Amino acid sequence: MVNKIQRILVPLDGSENSVRGLKCAMNIAQPIGATITGLYVIHVPARTAIRITPQQRKKEISFAESIIGNALKMAERSQTNFKPRTETGNPAETITRIAKTGNYDLIVIGSRGRGIGKEMFLGSVSNHVLHKAGMPVVVVK
């Protein structure tokens, strides 16, 4: 028996593909009353974490708030349940960790399509999430 989809995780990064991922998730969530968590991960590489200035940090937080705010407006217009979430860390690892610990039923992630080899079609973050999340993942291109 297939479990009902109640909680959907949608990583957001401001790209057109992440917006398409959010739209796809809203199309899934709205008719069944599922809740979408829109996750923006502020990428702070470990080797530079100490050198980030307060101004750079403020700029990153402002950008994250803008992305989440736009997603919230889209969800409100489509009458979809939406919860915003912002985290700091490596995007691929953070998305995977949140998905595993947050009892999500589905991840809908946009593919940026950058890089070479297997990442040419998926993108490095979506490729990582697809292979490491351990749950259903919809990759939207």
Percent of the chain clearing pLDDT 90 (strictly above): 70
Q: Is residue 87 part of a domain?
A: yes
Quick one: average pLDDT of 62-91? 95
Is the model's pLDDT at 117 over the cut of 80?
A: no
Q: Is residue 20 part of a domain?
A: yes
pTM (predicted TM-score): 0.88
Q: Is residue 103 part of a domain?
A: yes
CATH code of the domain covering residue 135: 3.40.50.620
Q: Is residue 133 part of a domain?
A: yes
Q: Is residue 30 part of a domain?
A: yes
Q: Is residue 1 part of a domain?
A: no
How many domains does one find in the chain?
Answer: 1
Q: Is residue 2 part of a domain?
A: no
Question: Under the phi-then-psi rule, with left for phi > 0, alpha for psi from -120 to 50, and beta for the rest, what region is 117?
Answer: left
Q: Give 95's pLDDT tier (boundaries 50, 70, 90).
A: very high
CA distance 18 to 11: 7
For 56, the domain range is 7-140
Quote the pLDDT of residue 57: 82
CA distance 85 to 114: 25
Q: Is residue 90 part of a domain?
A: yes
